[in-house]
Amino acid sequence: MIYLHIPFCKQKCSYCNFHFSTSLNYKEEMVAAIKKEIGLRRDELENKNIKSLYFGGGTPSILKVDELQSIIDEVLKHFSFDPDIEITLEANPDDLDKNFLKELSKTSFNRLSIGTQSFFDEDLKLMNRAHNSGEAESSIKRAQDFGFENISIDLIYGSPSSNFEIWKQNLDKTIELQVPHVSSYALTIEPKTMLNAWISQGKIAAPKEAEQHEEFFYMIDFLKDNGFDHYEISNFGKPGFHSKHNSAYWKYQEYLGIGPSAHSYNGRNERSWNIANNQLYINSLNKSILPKETEILSEKDQFNEMLMIGLRTVWGVDLSSLKEKFSTELLEYFQNEIKTKLEDGLLKIENNHLTIPEKHWFLADGIASDLFVV
Ligand code: SF4
């Protein structure tokens, strides 16, 4: 699978610490550099038959449809597409106007991941999103009118501008709009964000963990009652609408990440990441030099990563593949470490897979890191 990072946004959301620029001055140069990188790295994927192509960011919908199409065409010069390929565009509601969707519906994009976040203006203002509540709703309806069925929306819960009642209404609206996939995250306060500064200055209250906890568990029951599978801590999909792209990440498959700050993984022991600076990225590719750094993962790194990723999913960690992959010494240490957690019900083993019971998923990162080999 291939991930393409489009590092531009209209404005900075107050909670965001991703890599992007709000200046579009170098948009054409960036598209050219991304296409060049695709060609230069064509031999890095073992499997040349691509099952997922994912345009993320940043805000990929900031590009024109013909620019997006030209990137797909470049990928097609070097790779083949699986007949069931999933081609996702992350899009912000304010970009999904009639013209854009009309053009997009003529391309091979078959999945939209819309950055809705909330259907309430108070939340959207606090998050400094570029769209309003009207656009949050109308963008989804318009996309459906143009034939996009496979739609995921992002929703954020636990914002200081929200409360349990508002959260319930956000979920009701999701069902009313017949959206088949939801990615939902608790609002977290990252360093160097506007939200962090506002909280430090006492301008707004910090999110309350107890409220986030309550909203998370309400969402699980509510979405499951409405036909969604809860297949990863933050992801819910109706049958047939699970994200192929994210599922491949969670199953440790190889992926190629193109664009500034994008990460790649060879499915074994090598990870690399591109420089997180638009101008340096473009300059480097103009000289045909790949602006990336590579790290060889030790046995411990690979083991810890498998736990961290696997324990966030409904599939858990496959114990037979751990046996095949890792040394007896490491496995003995691990068997010892999981004992108490199994007794306490924080972990369970079923069909030779180690999982965290759903009621403890809120604690998944902590449970996994307790088991890390150091
Ligand atoms: S649109 Fe996405 S990437 Fe851009 S600032 Fe907002 S959250 Fe960050």
Query: What are 80-95's pLDDT values in tens digits?
Result: 999 999 999 999 999 9
Q: What pLDDT band is residue 362 in, cutting at 50, 70 and 90?
A: confident
Phi then psi for residue 123, to 5 deg, are -65, -45
CA of 27 to the centre of ligand 1 (A): 17
C-alpha 130 – ligand 1 centre gap (Å): 9
Q: Is the pLDDT of residue 251 over 90?
A: no
Q: Whose structure tokens read 């957690």?
A: 341
- Say what the pLDDT of residue 248 is: 85
Residue nearest to atom 6 of ligand 1 (CA): 13
Tokens of 185: 């995250």
Interatomic CA distance for residues 153 and 115, integer angstroms? 6
> What is the C-alpha to C-alpha distance for residues 127 and 114, in angstroms, rounded to an integer?
15
162 and 121 Cβ atoms separated by less than 8 Å: no
Minimal-distance CA residue to ligand 1 atom 3? 58
Q: What is the pLDDT of residue 19?
A: 83
**In this predicted structure, what is the pLDDT of residue 16?**
94
CA atoms of 174 and 178, how far apart (whole Å): 6
Q: What is the mean pLDDT of residues 40-57?
A: 95
Ligand 1 atom with the shortest distance to the CA of 58: 3
C-alpha 18 to ligand 1 mean position (Å): 7
Compute, in angstroms, the gap from residue 92 CA to the centroid of ligand 1.
Answer: 9
Predicted pLDDT at 141: 98
130-159 mean pLDDT:
98
- Give the mean pLDDT of 102-128: 98
For residue 184, what pLDDT band results from cuts at 50, 70 and 90?
very high
Look at residue 193 in the predicted model and tell me its pLDDT.
95
SS3 263: strand
User: Among 86, 83, 94, which residue's Cα sits nearest to residue 9?
Assistant: 94
Ligand 1 center to 276 CA (angstroms): 15
The minimum-distance atom of ligand 1 relative to the CA of 11 is 5
Q: Does the pLDDT value for residue 18 go beyond 90?
A: no
Q: CA 290, CA 58: separation in Å to the nearest integer?
A: 21
Closest ligand 1 atom, residue 57 Cα: 3
Compute the distance between CA of residue 287 and CA of residue 31 in angstroms, rounded to an integer: 15
Which of 15, 18, 118, 189 for mutating ligand 1's site (highest number of atoms within 8 Å of CB)? 18
Average pLDDT over residues 189-201: 95
Percent of the chain surpassing pLDDT 90: 94
CA of residue 7 to ligand 1 center, whole Å = 9
Q: What is the pLDDT of residue 53?
A: 98
Substitution site in 6, 11, 13 for ligand 1 pocket (most atoms within 8 Å of beta carbon): 13
Residue closest by Cα to atom 8 of ligand 1: 16
CA distance 160 to 145: 34
- Angstrom distance (rounded) from CA 55 to CA 365: 27
Give the pocket of ligand 1 (CB within 6 Å).
9, 12-13, 16, 18, 20, 57-59, 92, 115
Residues 231-254 have a mean pLDDT of 92
What domains does the chain contain, in order, with CATH numbers? 2-249 (3.80.30.20), 298-374 (1.10.10.920)
- Residues 265-295: pLDDT tens digits? 999 899 999 999 999 999 999 999 999 999 9
**DSSP class per residue in 157-196:** E--TT--HHHHHHHHHHHHHTT-SEEEEEE----TTSHHH
Whether the pLDDT of residue 32 is over 90: the answer is yes
pLDDT above 70 coverage of the chain, percent? 100
Whole-angstrom Cα distance, residue 186 to residue 189?
10
Cα-to-centroid distance, 59 and ligand 1 (Å)? 7
Nearest CA to ligand 1 atom 2: 58
The mean pLDDT value of the chain amounts to: 96
CA 8 to ligand 1 centroid distance, Å: 9
Tell me, what's the pLDDT at 250? 83
Average pLDDT over residues 43-55: 95
List pLDDT tens digits, range 295-338: 999 999 999 999 999 999 999 999 999 999 999 999 999 999 99
As a whole number of angstroms, the distance between CA 236 and CA 56 comes to 19
319 CA distance to ligand 1 centroid (A)? 37
Note the pLDDT of residue 214.
96
Could you tell me whether strands 49-57 and 292-296 are parallel, antiparallel, or unpaired per DSSP bridges? unpaired
Q: What is the pLDDT of residue 374?
A: 85
For residue 255, pLDDT over 90 is answered with yes
Q: For 106-113, what is the mean pLDDT?
A: 98
**Span 341-362, mean pLDDT?**
95
pLDDT band at residue 73 using 50, 70 and 90 as cut-offs: very high
Alpha-carbon Rg for the chain, nearest whole angstrom, is 21
